A and B are shown apart, each in its own frame.
Chain A
Amino acid sequence: MDPPLINESSFSAANPSAYSLAEIWPFPINPGSDPTAVTGGGLGLRIGNLGGFGETSGLRDGSMEESTVTEQSVGCGGGRKRKELSSEDESSKIVSTTTSANELNDSNGKRMKTPVSKNGNTGSKEAEVEASSADGSKPDKNSKPAEPPKQDYIHVRARRGQATDSHSLAERARRERISERMKILQDLVPGCNKVIGKALVLDEIINYIQSLQQQVEFLSMKLEAVNSRINVNPSFEGFHSKDLGLQPIDGAGMIFGSQTAREYAQGSHPEWLQMHVGGNFERAT
């Protein structure tokens, strides 16, 4: 991963270097120099894309440039070329370390110019290569057919970049929703407000639910015992009215958060019940 990094910095900073590189390259190095032609054309296209991105933000633009540049370095391929690059870009690297995102934006303008000359250069190359490829009669034409697939590729890349952007937006919204719900749950579960960290809060919630479920089991066991012990079934209407009559007494405004961890021990505290019974349920349904 090191060489691409070097390439990134050097390329993003100074495209003139790429231009000079194209000059320096002797033709025999890349006999089937289609890759260079493609990258040359691609560079221009990329700039078209980047021009669209330029309005969004400097940072974003910088990242996009980086990605495209790595692509290009990959496209250039050969280790020998890369060596040349790194040896030859010492000066440009110094520039690149100082470049900010805005300067990268400016380098777009520079880049706009370079591909033209580069195209010309590679075009002359291709004029020699043409015989083997036998593709187009003129360099312009030769670079044109290479463009559409490249453009497609770049388009996908750009779209992918946009997708991650919207995705990150959606992700942020989702996270907000989740934390909102976590807050509601924290209010609901006693003793959860002091806990920091979502995982710990969830642990606390899980414990609470488990304790409640155990309480239900325990109470149904108790009810079973009670139910079997009592021979005479008390009139359930009377009980019902009594049960409901009890409720207003238990202050209807108790907040769950005021409870301690005491009720985890599923004890039979009547005052615990009194605290629980209230209009809490209606509050949130």
Chain B
Amino acid sequence: MNNPHHLNPTSLKSRFTTRFLRALTKIHAQKSISSSSPTEIFRRYRRIKVAADKSMAYSVRSRRIWSRAMLWKLRSRSYRRQDPCSGRRSGKINQAIMKKSSNENTTTRREDGVGFVEEADELRQLVPGGEAMNLCNLLDETAHYIKCLTTQVQVMKKIADFYSF
């Protein structure tokens, strides 16, 4: 009661923390040679960023459109890294699909009649998978995405503080 997060290990926050810490230890273990070249640093940074996104999306599971889209994007990106030839092609296909769906949306979006089309478009760029959403879904997913992002930031900040004191 006084410690709900201990009692509730299935909360999204603890799920994310577990996953993210696991990924961090993995990344840390893989870094055998402490290379300080900028490319290495950047690559590690990217890995941490991807790990954070991935563990967040996995913690949400496929309940949400944005988490599904994020997982899909990350997966296609990792495929690209493994197999550059086919990966690039699939990336292009993805882009084409995205473009197509967004183009289809523009026609319906113009007749939305809401006064904030540009802002909604901008929001669609920010929320993963937002290109193919209508406005109601977009706002729903945005709300959830914001909550998840704040959780992510909290946990990461806490971990960083813990490591760096």
Whether a CB of chain A sits under 8 angstroms from the CB of B142 is yes
Among the listed B4, B144, B159, which residue makes an inter-chain contact with A252, where contact means beta carbons less than 8 Å apart? Answer: B4
Among the listed B115, B118, B143, B151, which residue makes an inter-chain contact with A185, where contact means beta carbons less than 8 Å apart? Answer: B143
Query: How far is A220 from B55 in the complex, measured between Cα atoms in Å?
Result: 13
Q: Given A233-B28, A285-B147, are A273 and B154 neighbors across the interface (CB < 8 Å)?
A: yes
Among the listed A174, A206, A248, A277, which residue makes an inter-chain contact with B158, where contact means beta carbons less than 8 Å apart? Answer: A277
Q: Given A281-B147, A285-B12, are A228 and B31 neighbors across the interface (CB < 8 Å)?
A: yes
Q: Report the minimal beta-carbon distance from B131 to chain A, rounded to whole angstroms.
A: 15
Whether a CB of chain A sits under 8 angstroms from the CB of B150 is yes
Whether a CB of chain B sits under 8 angstroms from the CB of A95 is no
On chain A, the residues within 8 Å of B156 by CB distance are: 216, 219-220, 223
Nearest-neighbor residue (CB-CB) of A246 within chain B: B158
* Interface range, B side: 35 or more
B161 adjacent to A188 (CB under 8 Å) = no
Whether a CB of chain B sits under 8 angstroms from the CB of A146 is no
Among the listed B11, B14, B21, which residue makes an inter-chain contact with A239, where contact means beta carbons less than 8 Å apart? Answer: B21
Query: How far is A235 from B18 in the complex, measured between Cα atoms in Å?
Result: 13
Interface of A, helix, strand, loop or mixed by DSSP? helix
B11 adjacent to A282 (CB under 8 Å) = yes
Whether a CB of chain A sits under 8 angstroms from the CB of B83 is no
Query: How far is A182 from B34 in the complex, measured between Cα atoms in Å?
Result: 48
Identify the stretch in A31-39, A70-78, A102-110, A195-203 within 8 Å (CB) of chain B at 4 or more residues. Answer: A195-203
Whether a CB of chain A sits under 8 angstroms from the CB of B96 is no
Query: How far is A281 from B21 in the complex, measured between Cα atoms in Å?
Result: 20
Q: Given A184-B143, A282-B11, are A223 and B163 neighbors across the interface (CB < 8 Å)?
A: yes
Q: Which residues of B contact A (CB under 8 A)?
A: 2-6, 8, 11-14, 17-18, 21-22, 24-25, 27-29, 31, 34, 36, 41, 44-45, 48-49, 52-53, 113-116, 118-120, 122-123, 126-127, 135-136, 139-140, 142-164
Q: Which residues of A contact B (CB under 8 A)?
A: 171, 174-175, 177-178, 181-182, 184-185, 188-189, 198-199, 202-203, 205-206, 208-210, 212-213, 215-217, 219-224, 226-228, 230, 233-234, 236, 239-240, 242-248, 252, 256, 268, 270, 273, 276-277, 279-282, 284-285
Q: What would 7 more interface pairs be, CB under 8 Å, given A277-B154, A282-B11?
A: A202-B123, A226-B164, A236-B24, A243-B162, A268-B157, A273-B158, A281-B150
